[in-house]
Amino acid sequence: MASIKQRIVPHLWYDKEAREAAAFYASVFPESKVTNVTTLHDTPSGDADTVSFELWGRKFMAISGGPFFKLNPSISFMVNYDPQFFGRSPTRTESARRKLDEAWDKLSAGGTALMPIDKYQFSERYGWVQDKYGLSWQLILSNPEGAPRPSIIPSLMFTGDKTGKAEEAIYFYMSVFRNSRRGNAMRYGAGQEPDKEGTLAFADFVLENCWLAAMDSAREHNFAFNEALSLMVYCEDQPEIDYYWQKLSAVPEAEQCGWLKDKYGVSWQVVPTAMEEMMRAGTPEQVARVTQAFLPMKKFDLAVLRKAYEGK
């Protein structure tokens, strides 16, 4: 198992706003901070900032990579405001609700409410918002009697020709990643057209000890999975890189710089754990050499990256 604790890290693509967006999100959620900024020079996008940050203890990355990909709600982040996180007092539910509303106000400023903040059948307080940078968030007041979940969970919505494939995709991902298991599942019932009875209204699952969620939606949407939000898989060595690449990559023309697309259209990045340390701790010259080494690659070659870092 790779030494990095969180093996699957969400990666956000922006035109020029990666630093600004990361700092904004760190101001919205507790236990959040920007941890590193590195500028890659002479990329196809010119100089590109890469930003590492944490939101409520979960690692994220972002890049200012140019106007090539645009964030959309096909992958959103479910934020669980669990009263159990807010102490043992009788007012903990009210504290969680207040924190949820504060985050909603910040995220909705300049954004668009996809589902208004309100009481729903599945939660006393819930709202779905696309913020001013295009990233989507589902804020939910969790049931304190339910099984605990992490505060922030990536949620995949299967739409268009992928509608009805959420459960199939969950089992596929569980066959690829170790330390995997199912969580909860809620299905559409009769009379909930256009959604087909029995398909997933919501399900969560674990891959490499990281929680994710998935759902089907047969309603009309003008978006689908794209490269703007990808999932980075950290690998300890070349055999791990080879394994995940072979299992996940299904669109040869999408393979570039460690990126791939799976058969459902979800973008992944298969990256060596050692590369994070190279980019974080390397001198400007070392970072430049590693950058020029990986730019022409499709699947990463760890030995070549190490030689570039060492100047050999």
Instruction: Give me the tens of pLDDT residue by residue for the chain, a chain 312 residues long.
Output: 333 479 999 999 999 999 999 999 999 999 999 999 999 888 888 889 999 999 999 999 999 999 999 999 999 999 999 887 776 666 788 999 999 999 999 999 999 999 999 999 889 999 999 999 999 999 999 987 777 889 999 999 999 999 999 999 999 999 999 899 999 999 999 999 999 999 999 999 999 999 999 999 999 999 999 999 999 999 999 999 999 999 999 999 999 999 999 999 999 999 999 998 898 889 999 999 999 999 999 999 999 999 999 998
- Spatial strand order of the sheet with 259-261 comes to 33-43, 46-55, 58-64, 8-14, 229-235, 267-272, 259-261
CA 178 to chain centre: 18
Task: Look at residue 44 in the predicted model and tell me its pLDDT.
Answer: 82
List the domains of the chain with CATH numbers. Answer: 9-68+235-310 (3.10.180.10), 75-216 (3.30.720.110)
pTM: 0.93
Predicted local confidence at residue 307, as pLDDT: 95
CA dist., res. 78 & res. 64, Å (int):
24
Q: Please give the pLDDT value at position 88.
A: 62
